[in-house]
Amino acid sequence: MHTTKRVLLAFGAAGIVASSLTTGRLGHVIWLLTAIVCASPLLLRVWRNRGTVAAPWRLVVLGFAVRLASDVMWCVEDVRHDGAVPFPSWNDIGYLASYGLLMAGLVRAAGGRARTALLDASIIAAGPALVDWMFLVHPYLHHADPGGPGATALALLYPMCDLVLFATGVRVLFADARSSPANRLVLLGAGLLLAGNFIFFAHAATGTTRSVDLLDNALWLLSYLVLGLAGLRRELPVTGSQEPSGDGQAMSRARIVAFAGAAVIGPLMFVLQRTFTDGDGDHLMVPATVSGSLSLLLVLRLGGLARVAQRRSAELDLHAGELERRGRDLAEALVEREALEHQLRHGALHDPTTGLANRALLIQRMEWALTRNDDQAGTR
Protein backbone atom coordinates (compact mmCIF):
# COMPACT_ATOMS: atom_id res chain seq x y z
CA MET A 1 0.00 0.00 0.00
CA HIS A 2 2.83 2.41 0.81
CA THR A 3 4.48 1.66 -2.54
CA THR A 4 1.21 2.38 -4.33
CA LYS A 5 0.92 5.70 -2.51
CA ARG A 6 4.42 6.71 -3.50
CA VAL A 7 3.78 5.77 -7.12
CA LEU A 8 0.52 7.71 -7.14
CA LEU A 9 2.19 10.77 -5.59
CA ALA A 10 5.01 10.66 -8.12
CA PHE A 11 2.60 10.23 -11.03
CA GLY A 12 0.38 13.06 -9.80
CA ALA A 13 3.30 15.44 -9.31
CA ALA A 14 4.66 14.62 -12.76
CA GLY A 15 1.23 15.09 -14.30
CA ILE A 16 0.75 18.48 -12.64
CA VAL A 17 4.13 19.70 -13.88
CA ALA A 18 3.65 18.28 -17.38
CA SER A 19 0.14 19.68 -17.81
CA SER A 20 1.34 23.10 -16.61
CA LEU A 21 4.17 23.16 -19.15
CA THR A 22 2.17 21.77 -22.07
CA THR A 23 -0.54 23.61 -24.01
CA GLY A 24 -3.08 22.66 -26.61
CA ARG A 25 -4.55 19.24 -27.17
CA LEU A 26 -1.57 17.43 -25.65
CA GLY A 27 -1.92 19.49 -22.47
CA HIS A 28 -5.59 18.52 -22.18
CA VAL A 29 -4.75 14.84 -22.68
CA ILE A 30 -2.07 14.94 -20.00
CA TRP A 31 -4.39 16.77 -17.60
CA LEU A 32 -7.28 14.35 -18.11
CA LEU A 33 -5.04 11.29 -17.86
CA THR A 34 -3.56 12.59 -14.61
CA ALA A 35 -6.99 13.40 -13.16
CA ILE A 36 -8.47 10.02 -14.08
CA VAL A 37 -5.52 8.01 -12.76
CA CYS A 38 -5.31 10.03 -9.52
CA ALA A 39 -9.03 9.76 -8.75
CA SER A 40 -9.41 6.11 -9.83
CA PRO A 41 -8.32 4.49 -6.49
CA LEU A 42 -11.22 6.10 -4.64
CA LEU A 43 -13.75 5.69 -7.44
CA LEU A 44 -12.93 2.02 -8.02
CA ARG A 45 -12.77 1.14 -4.33
CA VAL A 46 -16.10 2.76 -3.54
CA TRP A 47 -17.64 0.98 -6.52
CA ARG A 48 -16.29 -2.39 -5.41
CA ASN A 49 -17.28 -1.84 -1.78
CA ARG A 50 -20.48 0.10 -2.41
CA GLY A 51 -22.34 -2.21 -0.03
CA THR A 52 -20.13 -1.23 2.93
CA VAL A 53 -19.42 2.44 2.14
CA ALA A 54 -21.90 4.78 3.83
CA ALA A 55 -24.54 6.18 1.49
CA PRO A 56 -23.61 9.86 2.08
CA TRP A 57 -20.02 9.24 1.04
CA ARG A 58 -21.18 7.31 -2.02
CA LEU A 59 -23.02 10.47 -3.04
CA VAL A 60 -19.87 12.54 -2.46
CA VAL A 61 -17.74 10.20 -4.56
CA LEU A 62 -20.43 10.12 -7.25
CA GLY A 63 -20.34 13.91 -7.27
CA PHE A 64 -16.59 13.88 -7.92
CA ALA A 65 -17.09 11.28 -10.66
CA VAL A 66 -19.71 13.47 -12.37
CA ARG A 67 -17.37 16.44 -12.10
CA LEU A 68 -14.56 14.42 -13.68
CA ALA A 69 -16.87 13.53 -16.57
CA SER A 70 -17.73 17.24 -16.92
CA ASP A 71 -14.01 18.03 -17.03
CA VAL A 72 -13.71 15.66 -19.97
CA MET A 73 -16.53 17.52 -21.74
CA TRP A 74 -14.85 20.84 -20.94
CA CYS A 75 -11.56 19.73 -22.48
CA VAL A 76 -13.32 18.49 -25.61
CA GLU A 77 -15.17 21.79 -26.02
CA ASP A 78 -12.00 23.77 -25.31
CA VAL A 79 -10.20 21.95 -28.12
CA ARG A 80 -13.14 22.35 -30.51
CA HIS A 81 -13.45 26.11 -29.88
CA ASP A 82 -9.70 26.89 -29.76
CA GLY A 83 -9.62 27.79 -26.06
CA ALA A 84 -12.81 29.88 -26.02
CA VAL A 85 -15.41 27.59 -24.44
CA PRO A 86 -18.94 28.99 -24.93
CA PHE A 87 -20.93 29.89 -21.86
CA PRO A 88 -23.35 28.39 -21.04
CA SER A 89 -22.47 24.98 -22.49
CA TRP A 90 -23.32 21.33 -21.95
CA ASN A 91 -20.59 20.83 -19.37
CA ASP A 92 -22.39 23.26 -17.04
CA ILE A 93 -25.15 20.67 -16.57
CA GLY A 94 -22.63 18.16 -15.26
CA TYR A 95 -20.91 20.69 -13.01
CA LEU A 96 -24.19 21.77 -11.41
CA ALA A 97 -25.22 18.14 -10.97
CA SER A 98 -21.91 17.43 -9.22
CA TYR A 99 -22.58 20.33 -6.84
CA GLY A 100 -25.94 18.83 -5.93
CA LEU A 101 -24.47 15.39 -5.26
CA LEU A 102 -21.56 16.77 -3.22
CA MET A 103 -23.78 18.98 -1.07
CA ALA A 104 -26.38 16.25 -0.52
CA GLY A 105 -23.68 13.78 0.51
CA LEU A 106 -21.90 16.16 2.87
CA VAL A 107 -25.17 17.24 4.52
CA ARG A 108 -25.95 13.60 5.32
CA ALA A 109 -22.35 12.72 6.17
CA ALA A 110 -22.35 14.96 9.26
CA GLY A 111 -24.74 12.54 10.97
CA GLY A 112 -27.69 13.50 13.17
CA ARG A 113 -28.96 17.05 13.36
CA ALA A 114 -25.65 18.59 14.48
CA ARG A 115 -27.27 22.00 15.04
CA THR A 116 -24.22 23.41 16.80
CA ALA A 117 -21.95 22.37 13.94
CA LEU A 118 -24.42 23.89 11.45
CA LEU A 119 -24.45 27.20 13.32
CA ASP A 120 -20.65 27.28 13.53
CA ALA A 121 -20.34 26.47 9.83
CA SER A 122 -22.73 29.29 8.97
CA ILE A 123 -20.69 31.75 11.04
CA ILE A 124 -17.45 30.74 9.35
CA ALA A 125 -19.04 30.74 5.88
CA ALA A 126 -20.03 34.39 6.37
CA GLY A 127 -16.38 35.40 5.87
CA PRO A 128 -15.92 33.65 2.50
CA ALA A 129 -19.31 35.05 1.48
CA LEU A 130 -17.86 38.56 1.73
CA VAL A 131 -14.83 37.47 -0.29
CA ASP A 132 -17.13 36.01 -2.96
CA TRP A 133 -19.06 39.26 -3.10
CA MET A 134 -15.98 41.43 -3.54
CA PHE A 135 -14.05 39.26 -6.01
CA LEU A 136 -16.76 37.30 -7.84
CA VAL A 137 -20.32 38.58 -7.52
CA HIS A 138 -19.65 42.33 -7.68
CA PRO A 139 -17.30 42.09 -10.70
CA TYR A 140 -19.79 39.88 -12.51
CA LEU A 141 -22.55 42.39 -11.93
CA HIS A 142 -20.55 45.48 -12.90
CA HIS A 143 -17.77 44.41 -15.25
CA ALA A 144 -18.09 40.98 -16.80
CA ASP A 145 -20.49 40.31 -19.66
CA PRO A 146 -20.94 36.52 -19.85
CA GLY A 147 -23.73 36.77 -22.42
CA GLY A 148 -27.11 38.00 -21.22
CA PRO A 149 -29.19 37.77 -18.02
CA GLY A 150 -29.41 33.98 -18.12
CA ALA A 151 -25.67 33.57 -18.44
CA THR A 152 -25.11 36.14 -15.69
CA ALA A 153 -27.44 34.25 -13.36
CA LEU A 154 -25.63 31.01 -14.13
CA ALA A 155 -22.26 32.65 -13.55
CA LEU A 156 -23.45 33.90 -10.15
CA LEU A 157 -24.86 30.47 -9.30
CA TYR A 158 -21.41 28.87 -9.35
CA PRO A 159 -19.88 30.91 -6.48
CA MET A 160 -23.11 30.46 -4.50
CA CYS A 161 -22.82 26.70 -4.90
CA ASP A 162 -19.18 26.89 -3.85
CA LEU A 163 -20.18 28.80 -0.73
CA VAL A 164 -22.85 26.27 0.24
CA LEU A 165 -20.43 23.43 -0.43
CA PHE A 166 -17.85 25.14 1.79
CA ALA A 167 -20.38 25.48 4.61
CA THR A 168 -21.45 21.83 4.40
CA GLY A 169 -17.81 20.73 4.43
CA VAL A 170 -17.10 22.82 7.53
CA ARG A 171 -20.16 21.30 9.17
CA VAL A 172 -18.76 17.83 8.57
CA LEU A 173 -15.42 18.93 10.06
CA PHE A 174 -17.20 20.12 13.19
CA ALA A 175 -19.21 16.90 13.47
CA ASP A 176 -18.08 13.39 14.44
CA ALA A 177 -17.41 12.43 10.81
CA ARG A 178 -14.08 14.28 10.86
CA SER A 179 -12.51 11.54 13.01
CA SER A 180 -11.78 9.25 10.04
CA PRO A 181 -8.56 9.97 8.07
CA ALA A 182 -10.32 8.96 4.85
CA ASN A 183 -13.06 11.51 5.58
CA ARG A 184 -10.51 14.25 6.17
CA LEU A 185 -8.75 13.48 2.88
CA VAL A 186 -12.02 13.64 0.96
CA LEU A 187 -12.82 16.97 2.63
CA LEU A 188 -9.33 18.22 1.78
CA GLY A 189 -9.95 17.27 -1.83
CA ALA A 190 -13.18 19.25 -1.77
CA GLY A 191 -11.32 22.22 -0.27
CA LEU A 192 -8.69 22.16 -3.03
CA LEU A 193 -11.49 21.95 -5.57
CA LEU A 194 -13.12 25.07 -4.09
CA ALA A 195 -9.80 26.92 -4.07
CA GLY A 196 -9.29 26.16 -7.76
CA ASN A 197 -12.88 27.20 -8.50
CA PHE A 198 -12.39 30.54 -6.74
CA ILE A 199 -9.29 31.39 -8.76
CA PHE A 200 -10.98 30.33 -11.98
CA PHE A 201 -14.17 32.34 -11.34
CA ALA A 202 -12.21 35.39 -10.15
CA HIS A 203 -10.28 35.35 -13.42
CA ALA A 204 -13.48 34.88 -15.42
CA ALA A 205 -15.22 37.73 -13.56
CA THR A 206 -12.69 40.24 -14.87
CA GLY A 207 -12.52 38.92 -18.43
CA THR A 208 -14.79 38.13 -21.33
CA THR A 209 -14.13 34.39 -21.61
CA ARG A 210 -13.62 31.53 -19.21
CA SER A 211 -10.08 30.15 -19.45
CA VAL A 212 -8.03 27.91 -17.17
CA ASP A 213 -4.87 29.28 -15.55
CA LEU A 214 -1.88 27.34 -14.24
CA LEU A 215 -2.80 27.69 -10.55
CA ASP A 216 -6.42 26.56 -10.74
CA ASN A 217 -5.33 23.79 -13.12
CA ALA A 218 -2.83 22.52 -10.52
CA LEU A 219 -5.31 22.84 -7.63
CA TRP A 220 -7.90 20.74 -9.44
CA LEU A 221 -5.35 18.02 -10.12
CA LEU A 222 -4.23 18.16 -6.48
CA SER A 223 -7.85 17.67 -5.51
CA TYR A 224 -8.08 14.46 -7.56
CA LEU A 225 -4.72 13.32 -6.17
CA VAL A 226 -5.90 13.73 -2.58
CA LEU A 227 -9.06 11.81 -3.42
CA GLY A 228 -6.93 8.98 -4.76
CA LEU A 229 -4.93 8.92 -1.53
CA ALA A 230 -8.21 8.66 0.37
CA GLY A 231 -9.06 5.61 -1.71
CA LEU A 232 -5.77 3.99 -0.70
CA ARG A 233 -6.51 4.33 3.01
CA ARG A 234 -7.16 1.12 4.91
CA GLU A 235 -10.50 2.35 6.23
CA LEU A 236 -13.36 3.67 4.13
CA PRO A 237 -15.25 6.94 4.68
CA VAL A 238 -17.84 6.70 7.45
CA THR A 239 -20.66 8.93 8.65
CA GLY A 240 -20.93 10.66 12.01
CA SER A 241 -23.03 9.46 14.91
CA GLN A 242 -26.73 10.14 15.04
CA GLU A 243 -26.32 12.36 18.06
CA PRO A 244 -23.72 15.12 18.24
CA SER A 245 -20.95 14.38 20.71
CA GLY A 246 -19.46 16.72 23.24
CA ASP A 247 -16.46 17.28 20.99
CA GLY A 248 -18.75 18.42 18.20
CA GLN A 249 -20.15 21.13 20.46
CA ALA A 250 -16.90 22.04 22.24
CA MET A 251 -15.24 25.42 21.73
CA SER A 252 -11.85 24.12 20.64
CA ARG A 253 -8.89 26.37 19.91
CA ALA A 254 -9.11 25.64 16.19
CA ARG A 255 -12.76 26.65 16.16
CA ILE A 256 -11.99 29.92 17.95
CA VAL A 257 -9.28 30.67 15.38
CA ALA A 258 -11.76 29.94 12.56
CA PHE A 259 -14.32 32.29 14.14
CA ALA A 260 -11.69 35.00 14.50
CA GLY A 261 -10.65 34.60 10.87
CA ALA A 262 -14.26 34.83 9.70
CA ALA A 263 -14.78 37.96 11.82
CA VAL A 264 -11.88 39.90 10.27
CA ILE A 265 -12.22 38.77 6.65
CA GLY A 266 -14.83 41.41 5.76
CA PRO A 267 -13.02 44.46 7.15
CA LEU A 268 -9.70 43.15 5.87
CA MET A 269 -11.02 42.75 2.35
CA PHE A 270 -12.48 46.23 2.45
CA VAL A 271 -9.20 47.75 3.61
CA LEU A 272 -7.28 45.91 0.91
CA GLN A 273 -9.72 47.01 -1.75
CA ARG A 274 -9.49 50.65 -0.71
CA THR A 275 -5.70 50.41 -0.53
CA PHE A 276 -5.06 48.93 -3.98
CA THR A 277 -7.95 50.45 -5.92
CA ASP A 278 -9.15 53.98 -6.55
CA GLY A 279 -12.53 55.25 -5.48
CA ASP A 280 -14.51 56.97 -2.77
CA GLY A 281 -15.12 55.59 0.66
CA ASP A 282 -11.74 56.16 2.28
CA HIS A 283 -13.52 57.61 5.31
CA LEU A 284 -14.93 54.14 5.99
CA MET A 285 -11.51 52.53 6.42
CA VAL A 286 -11.11 53.52 10.07
CA PRO A 287 -14.57 52.29 11.15
CA ALA A 288 -14.00 49.10 9.20
CA THR A 289 -10.65 48.55 10.90
CA VAL A 290 -12.04 49.31 14.34
CA SER A 291 -15.06 47.07 13.82
CA GLY A 292 -12.83 44.27 12.62
CA SER A 293 -10.57 44.61 15.66
CA LEU A 294 -13.60 44.71 17.94
CA SER A 295 -15.04 41.59 16.32
CA LEU A 296 -11.75 39.82 16.77
CA LEU A 297 -11.54 40.80 20.45
CA LEU A 298 -15.12 39.74 21.06
CA VAL A 299 -14.54 36.37 19.44
CA LEU A 300 -11.39 35.80 21.48
CA ARG A 301 -13.12 36.92 24.67
CA LEU A 302 -16.20 34.78 24.18
CA GLY A 303 -14.04 31.87 23.11
CA GLY A 304 -11.95 32.20 26.26
CA LEU A 305 -15.06 32.28 28.42
CA ALA A 306 -16.44 29.23 26.68
CA ARG A 307 -13.20 27.32 27.22
CA VAL A 308 -13.16 28.26 30.93
CA ALA A 309 -16.76 27.13 31.27
CA GLN A 310 -15.97 23.86 29.53
CA ARG A 311 -12.95 23.25 31.77
CA ARG A 312 -14.94 23.90 34.93
CA SER A 313 -17.77 21.72 33.69
CA ALA A 314 -15.28 18.91 33.09
CA GLU A 315 -13.89 19.38 36.62
CA LEU A 316 -17.41 19.25 38.09
CA ASP A 317 -18.14 16.08 36.12
CA LEU A 318 -14.93 14.57 37.49
CA HIS A 319 -15.82 15.49 41.09
CA ALA A 320 -19.36 14.21 40.62
CA GLY A 321 -18.00 10.89 39.40
CA GLU A 322 -15.68 10.68 42.40
CA LEU A 323 -18.52 11.41 44.82
CA GLU A 324 -20.69 8.81 43.14
CA ARG A 325 -17.94 6.24 43.46
CA ARG A 326 -17.43 7.04 47.15
CA GLY A 327 -21.19 6.80 47.73
CA ARG A 328 -21.23 3.33 46.20
CA ASP A 329 -18.27 2.29 48.36
CA LEU A 330 -20.03 3.59 51.49
CA ALA A 331 -23.24 1.74 50.64
CA GLU A 332 -21.30 -1.49 50.15
CA ALA A 333 -19.53 -0.97 53.49
CA LEU A 334 -22.87 -0.50 55.30
CA VAL A 335 -24.25 -3.66 53.74
CA GLU A 336 -21.15 -5.58 54.83
CA ARG A 337 -21.44 -4.16 58.37
CA GLU A 338 -25.08 -5.19 58.67
CA ALA A 339 -24.24 -8.68 57.44
CA LEU A 340 -21.39 -8.95 59.97
CA GLU A 341 -23.60 -7.77 62.85
CA HIS A 342 -26.22 -10.31 61.89
CA GLN A 343 -23.59 -13.02 61.79
CA LEU A 344 -22.26 -12.03 65.24
CA ARG A 345 -25.75 -12.03 66.79
CA HIS A 346 -26.49 -15.42 65.31
CA GLY A 347 -23.18 -16.85 66.55
CA ALA A 348 -23.79 -15.52 70.07
CA LEU A 349 -27.26 -17.05 70.38
CA HIS A 350 -26.83 -20.35 68.52
CA ASP A 351 -24.64 -23.42 68.86
CA PRO A 352 -21.86 -23.33 66.23
CA THR A 353 -22.04 -27.11 65.65
CA THR A 354 -25.77 -27.82 65.44
CA GLY A 355 -27.01 -24.33 64.64
CA LEU A 356 -29.67 -24.69 67.36
CA ALA A 357 -30.50 -22.05 69.95
CA ASN A 358 -28.13 -22.11 72.95
CA ARG A 359 -28.55 -21.27 76.66
CA ALA A 360 -27.99 -17.55 76.09
CA LEU A 361 -30.94 -17.35 73.69
CA LEU A 362 -33.08 -19.42 76.13
CA ILE A 363 -32.24 -17.06 79.04
CA GLN A 364 -32.92 -14.04 76.82
CA ARG A 365 -36.33 -15.35 75.79
CA MET A 366 -37.23 -16.33 79.38
CA GLU A 367 -36.30 -12.88 80.67
CA TRP A 368 -38.41 -11.32 77.96
CA ALA A 369 -41.39 -13.56 78.85
CA LEU A 370 -41.10 -12.85 82.59
CA THR A 371 -40.84 -9.13 81.97
CA ARG A 372 -43.93 -9.27 79.78
CA ASN A 373 -45.93 -11.17 82.49
CA ASP A 374 -44.90 -8.63 85.13
CA ASP A 375 -46.02 -5.80 82.88
CA GLN A 376 -49.38 -7.44 82.25
CA ALA A 377 -49.88 -8.13 85.99
CA GLY A 378 -49.10 -4.51 86.81
CA THR A 379 -51.71 -3.24 84.42
CA ARG A 380 -54.46 -5.33 86.11
- pLDDT category at 111 given cuts 50, 70, 90 is low
- pLDDT category at 289 given cuts 50, 70, 90 is low
Burial class (CB in 10 A: 0-12, 13-18, 19+), 234: exposed
- pLDDT category at 100 given cuts 50, 70, 90 is very high
pLDDT, mean of residues 181-202: 87
- pLDDT category at 246 given cuts 50, 70, 90 is very low
pLDDT above 50 (res 85): yes
State how far the Cα of 89 lies from the Cα of 154, in Å rounded to an integer. Answer: 11
Angstrom CA distances, 195 to 160, 238, 281, 288, 318, stand at 14, 25, 30, 26, 44
The reported pLDDT for the residue numbered 116 is 65
The answer to whether the bond into 88 is cis (omega within 30° of 0) is: yes
- Alpha-helix runs per DSSP H in the chain: 2-21, 24-48, 55-80, 91-109, 115-132, 138-142, 149-174, 181-205, 214-231, 246-249, 253-276, 285-349, 359-379
The answer to which of 24-28, 91-95, 246-250, 295-299 has the lowest mean pLDDT is 246-250
Angstrom CA distances, 360 to 163, 241, 285, 347, 366, stand at 90, 67, 100, 11, 10
Structural domain boundaries in the chain? 2-243, 250-324, 325-379
State how far the Cα of 184 lies from the Cα of 321, in Å rounded to an integer. Answer: 34
Taking the CA atoms of 50, 75, 216 and 4 in sequence, report the sign of the dihedral they define. Answer: positive
Closest by Cα among 160, 134, 130, 155 to 145: 155
Contact partners, residue 281, CB within 8 Å, separation at least 6: 274
The reported pLDDT for the residue numbered 242 is 43
pLDDT above 80 (res 172): yes
The reported pLDDT for the residue numbered 90 is 82
State which amino acid sits at residue 173.
L
Closest by Cα among 64, 70, 100, 99 to 85: 70
pTM listed for this prediction: 0.69
Is residue 127 within 8 Å of 261, Cβ to Cβ? yes
State how far the Cα of 332 lies from the Cα of 325, in Å rounded to an integer. Answer: 11
Read off the DSSP letter of residue 195. H
State how far the Cα of 51 lies from the Cα of 49, in Å rounded to an integer. Answer: 5
pLDDT, mean of residues 101-114: 78
pLDDT above 80 (res 104): yes
Q: What are phi and psi of 173, to 5 degrees?
A: -60, -35
pLDDT above 90 (res 80): no
Q: Which residues pair with 357 in a beta bridge?
A: 350
In this predicted model, which residue has the larger pLDDT, 133 or 40? 40
Is residue 207 within 8 Å of 175, Cβ to Cβ? no
Is residue 293 within 8 Å of 154, Cβ to Cβ? no
Max mean pLDDT range (82-96, 145-159, 237-251, 346-360): 82-96
The reported pLDDT for the residue numbered 264 is 73
pLDDT above 70 (res 137): yes
pLDDT, mean of residues 97-103: 93
Q: State the average pLDDT for the chain.
A: 78
pLDDT, mean of residues 251-261: 70
- pLDDT category at 282 given cuts 50, 70, 90 is low
- pLDDT category at 244 given cuts 50, 70, 90 is very low
Q: In this predicted model, what pLDDT tens digit does every residue of 26-62 receive, in sequence order?
A: 888 889 999 999 999 999 988 888 888 888 888 999 9
At residue 213, the 3 state secondary structure works out as coil
